[in-house]
Structure 1
Amino acid sequence: MNLFVLAGTEDGRHLAGELELRGHQVWVSTLTEYGAQIAEAQGLQTRYGALNQAEFIALIQQNSIEGLIDATHPYAEKIHELARHVSEEVGIPYLRWERPKIVQETSPLIHWAADLAEAGALACRLGQRIFLTTGSKNLKDWLELPGFKEREIFARVLPRSEVLVQCEALGLKPYQIIAAQGPFSQRFNEALWEQLKIDVVITKESGQVGGTDEKIKSCLNLGIPVIVLERPRTEYSEPMESMEDFMKRVEELK
């Protein structure tokens, strides 16, 4: 089959590679050039850059795509909706790979939040020095939350020049910006948060691939509260137990 895979994440690239090994013709799309470079290094046929609806449809039609697989980040709501709409428009199947969630631990240090506002309010009650491990996409929204201007905010972001410019434009000082690419080990997290004297950590439920387990374990070991932002709820997400289960669904499209 000719498959178009939206794969800006590690598990998305792995999925695309597995599909190729099974004899499918796979086209991979990533948002960033860096993501495309990683995919190309893995031998995948790749393009990069944001897509509008017309460009999306044109790519599918030009390459005779028979199935659209959305393996983007669990929190990439806009591209999920666009991909689903485009697949309906051109009349091809849409399959959403939803990476498995973490196994939830029970601890008074673990707090779940439905959205940024709830997470921000919790964080302000729990401490003064707040560490964001949620990336740069919604950084402006975080920093504008009530109470955050009175807190010491630290943000871990990708080490890219445009991201650093964004952080500086939002008023973050160099000591508040931790520019590094994850996922990170539990030992690394603990050393960093101890050095920065962090009171509370905010993260997303990005699954094991995204390092969520390590973040939570680090917090529990240090006795630091951790706030986990819940995944967006969508009517079309169908989490699979494993990638093998998902592959079986793809094979059924033949």
Structure 2
Amino acid sequence: MRVLILGGTAEARALAAALAPEPGIHVVSSLAGRVSNPRLPAGEVHEGGFGGPEGLAAWIHDNAIDSVIDATHPFAARMSASAAEVARRTGVPLLVLRRPGWTEGPGDSWHRVASLDAAAGLLPSLGRKVFLTTGRRSLPVFTAIDGLWFLARSVDPPEPPIPANVRILLARGPYTVEGERELIAEHRLDVLVTKDSGGAMTTAKLVAARELGLPVVMVDRPPLPDGVRLVSTVDAAVGWLGGR
């Protein structure tokens, strides 16, 4: 069985590590190439895009792929849409593996919004010094807002020029609660903006925000394409593949 994992997440790497040693399974993990020096999964790796649904369908055909598991980031809506379209068109079985999103708990002050634009519109009413953790590509949505200062954290640097009201912090998780508390205190941040990515690697900022009384602007995930099968754990994905 030849399995294509659309990857780039910790779950995708864990899935590849679980499948690669199995006899009779050949794993190919696809990385979009948007992060420099990515953590490479076990097995064969395909780097770069496919060129939309047409390119993905051709690649699946040319490489005799039997099953596809979409384990991309919860906000990789375009890739998920392409995978779903190709599965409908070709009949190649598709499974979506998504870690659960975060849940607001006692002491949290979350403001859920549907988009980055909505998050930007809400910010002036919540604070002036913003901890921005929505990724380097989102900077233009926020930086034109008057009266706000941003500490923007990302794995890779954003495209220049960088506005004067933005300080870039290059870092890769996992993070600690103590480290996040110190970062918030050092820069006197008073509001956090993040996407509902879920997972343990970056949850420390939410704990620190709760402990320090910071409001959190939480951008909801885009909806999955209609009709796809969804699981939330690597074990469930392995079981689905075993059933095939």
Return the TM-score normalized by structure 2.
0.89
Partner of 1:205: 196
Displacement after TM superposition at 1:172 (Å): 4.6
Tell me, yes or no, if the aligned pair for 2:116 and 2:138 is still in contact at 8 Å. Answer: no
Determine whether 1:66 maps to 2:58: no
Tell me, yes or no, if the aligned pair for 1:69 and 1:95 is still in contact at 8 Å. Answer: yes
Displacement after TM superposition at 1:236 (Å): 4.4
Partner of 1:242: 233
Mapping for residues 119-198 of structure 1, pairs under 5 Å: 119-144=119-144, 148-158=145-155, 160=156, 163-164=157-158, 166=159, 168-172=160-164, 176-198=167-189
Q: Deviations over 1:158-211 (max 9, x none)?
A: 1x3xx34x1x324256x6111111231111111111101101000111112441
Distance 1:172 1:72, change over 3 A: farther
Distance (whole Å) between structure 1 residues aligned to residue 142 and residue 16 of structure 2? 33
State the Cα RMSD in Å.
Answer: 2.2
User: What stretches of structure 1 of length at least 5 have no aligned partner?
Assistant: none
Q: Deviations over 1:16-35 (max 9, x none)?
A: 22122333211111011767
Displacement after TM superposition at 1:98 (Å): 1.1
Determine which structure has the larger helix proportion and give its number.
Answer: 1
> What SS does the aligned partner of 1:197 have?
coil
Tell me, yes or no, if the aligned pair for 1:140 and 1:170 is still in contact at 8 Å. Answer: no
Q: What residue identity is the alignment partner of 1:215?
A: K
Tell me, yes or no, if the aligned pair for 2:108 and 2:210 is still in contact at 8 Å. Answer: no
Q: What residue identity is the alignment partner of 1:65?
A: I
User: What stretches of structure 2 of length at least 5 have no aligned partner?
Assistant: none
Distance (whole Å) between structure 1 residues aligned to residue 189 and residue 34 of structure 2? 33
Displacement after TM superposition at 1:126 (Å): 0.8
Q: Deviations over 1:117-155 (max 9, x none)?
A: 3322322101111111111122222334xxx23211221
Q: What residue identity is the alignment partner of 1:28?
A: S
Tell me, yes or no, if the aligned pair for 1:8 and 1:30 is still in contact at 8 Å. Answer: yes
> What SS does the aligned partner of 2:74 have?
coil
Return the TM-score normalized by structure 1.
0.86
Partner of 1:46: 45
> What SS does the aligned partner of 1:231 have?
coil
Partner of 2:100: 100
Distance (whole Å) between structure 2 residues aligned to residue 129 and residue 237 of structure 1? 40
How many residues get paired? 241
Distance (whole Å) between structure 1 residues aligned to residue 127 and residue 39 of structure 2? 38
Partner of 1:31: 32
Displacement after TM superposition at 1:89 (Å): 2.6
Displacement after TM superposition at 1:102 (Å): 2.7
